[in-house]
Amino acid sequence: RFEQAFITSLISSVVKTKDSYFWIALQDQNGTGEYTWKAAGQKSEPVQYTHWNAHQPRYSGGCVVMRGRSPPGRWEVKDCRQFKAMSLCKQPLEIRGKNEHEERWPFHPCYLGWESEPGLASCFKVFHSEKVLMKRTWREAEAFCEEFGAHLASFAHTEEENFVNELLHSKFNWTEERQFWIGFNKRNPQNADSWEWSDGTPVVSSFLDNTYFGEDVRNCAVYKANKKLLPLQCGSKREWICKIPRDVKPKIPQWYRHDEPWLFYQDTEYLFHTSPSEWASFEFVCSWLHSDPLTIHSAREQEFIHSKIKALSKFGVNWWIGLREERASDEFRWRDGTPLIYKNWDKERERPVNNQSQRCGFISSITGLWGSEECSASMPSICKRKKF
């Protein structure tokens, strides 16, 4: 009944003429007066619901139409060969089964150094000149990603492209003209000069809207942080972005000298040291690694730090930062001597009443707000060093 009501509403919205009819799959197939549903390539199905017009079915051996008007949706028998009518088609909604990665990805965080956001099935990693000391051709970059069990980045939908665009903005200055190889290419001579993704991801039409590059030999594409593609000759050397399914653990090639878990942001690197320690030990570790305890000088840097510790903390955890009292009840200062201009204190946790011991600053992985604790407490910590 509900399906009939839907179809009646559908044809009423498109049919404007009085005498309009639509063939449906109901038919007296044996000429016995018994009408059954006839589906292509299937056995006849018995009728469990009817919507006949008055004085119908009129005779045996016919085929059934649905009226478009007067009254709409009612069924009538017509001559299968002589009567002319439009038709109504129906097909089941295809429900594509999830692949192995899609079944498991919502529950698996990205591995350290790879980045994503909730709702995305893949993780991404930007390889840039500050990190790898050299740029590569498109094929060299794709081979580099493959060594990690990954491919050059593809965009299965706009959400992935939006994330990568924001990721580039978070790492580099908005004014920087940086170009990164992605998997978009037309190197395959058997594909009639068509663009495709190196990992086999289907190219969605919305992405193709802005990808006409003309007929030339620039067969590989770079991505810029303003959502623009640029065709280049594949032998050009650029930075690149890799992509891997969220639940696949990246391989670490023996030749790859990486400095994880240092993360790059705005010409600076950060080390997130997850093992708890006292503040003094934290300061020693940072100095041993030629860095300083973390300072935070802007809301953007604060947002970057908070997003990382939130992802690294299974539960609500506080992380040491480079704030410390020189003496009990003294003013908090950054340990590297830079001025304390930007502040993000939790007013209730900045300083307790009747403080008798030296206190050091921390940042909450839950709220991102700063607080203070006795420097002898143990917490994970964050070091910071300038790349240049």
Q: What domains sit in the chain, N to C, each tagged with a CATH number?
A: 2-87 (3.10.100.10), 109-245 (3.10.100.10), 262-386 (3.10.100.10)
pLDDT of residue 267: 74
- The model carries a pTM of 0.48
Mean pLDDT of 313-339: 87
pLDDT tens digits along 275-286: 899 999 999 889
CA–CA dist 305, 293 (Å, integer): 13
- The average pLDDT across 343-370 equals 84
What pLDDT is attached to residue 305? Answer: 92
Band the pLDDT of 158: cuts 50, 70, 90.
Answer: confident
Residue pLDDT, tens place only, 261-270: 677 777 788 8
Mean pLDDT of the chain: 83
Single-letter residue type at 334: W
Is the pLDDT at 102 greater than 60? The verdict is no
Q: Is 36 helix (H, G, I), strand (E, B) or coil?
A: strand
The better pLDDT of the pair 195, 387 is held by 195
Strongest mean pLDDT among 40-49, 327-336, 361-370: 361-370
Q: What is the pLDDT of residue 71?
A: 81
Burial label, 146 (beta-carbon count in 10 A; 0-12, 13-18, 19+):
middle
Distances in Å between the alpha carbon of 221 and those of 136, 137, 194, 236, 266?
A: 13, 11, 13, 10, 25
Q: Which stretch of 10-19, 116-125, 160-169, 281-290 has the lowest confidence by average pLDDT?
A: 10-19
Q: Which residues contact 325 (CB under 8 A, 6 or more apart)?
A: 331, 332, 333, 358, 359, 360, 372
